[in-house]
Amino acid sequence: MIQTNDIEENLKRGILEMLILKMLSQEDMYGYQMISEMNIRGKGLIDIKEGSLYGPLYRLIGKNYISENKVLVGKRRTRVYYHIEPLGVEYLNTMIEVYSQITEAVNLIMNYSGEGETNEENNQ
């Protein structure tokens, strides 16, 4: 039996950086805030775990797409806010364009009936 969890995890890994950059393009956020917002905005359809967020964040920092700012919260606690940089905005725009093309191609292939038309076109 095929495990849908494996498929879901692979797809999530491929788009997580794009989601992070999109959210940071709207406002600076800290890690837990990003996870909560992704789960809310995704209406629970994508369940992002806290541990899966930090690898992509560190890769994005390493590529200078985002930066981090440590802010003291209370007397002893530090919160790390992430901020998208101009290079990150450029990368995000390119990712969105590529993602849109891939999504369109996947939809065309998935809806192809074998007669030169998609199933959607046949139903009209």
What's 19's domain CATH number? Answer: 1.10.10.10
Q: Of 19-23, 29-33, 97-101, which range is least confident?
A: 97-101
pTM of this prediction exceeds 0.75: yes
**Does 124 or 14 have the greater pLDDT score?**
14
Q: If pLDDT is split at 50, 70 and 90, which confidence band does 66 have?
A: very high
CB proximity list for 12: less than 8 A, separation 6 or greater: 46, 48, 52
Distances from the Cα of 57 to the Cα of 5, 18, 20, 93, 111, angstroms = 23, 11, 8, 18, 35
Where is 82: in which H helix or E strand? strand 77-84
Whether residue 120 has pLDDT greater than 60: no
Domain count, the chain: 1
Whether residue 107 has pLDDT greater than 60: yes
Whether residue 4 has pLDDT greater than 90: no
**% of the chain surpassing 70 pLDDT:** 81
Its sign, for the CA torsion 108, 112, 118, 120, is negative
Domain that holds residue 83: 4-122
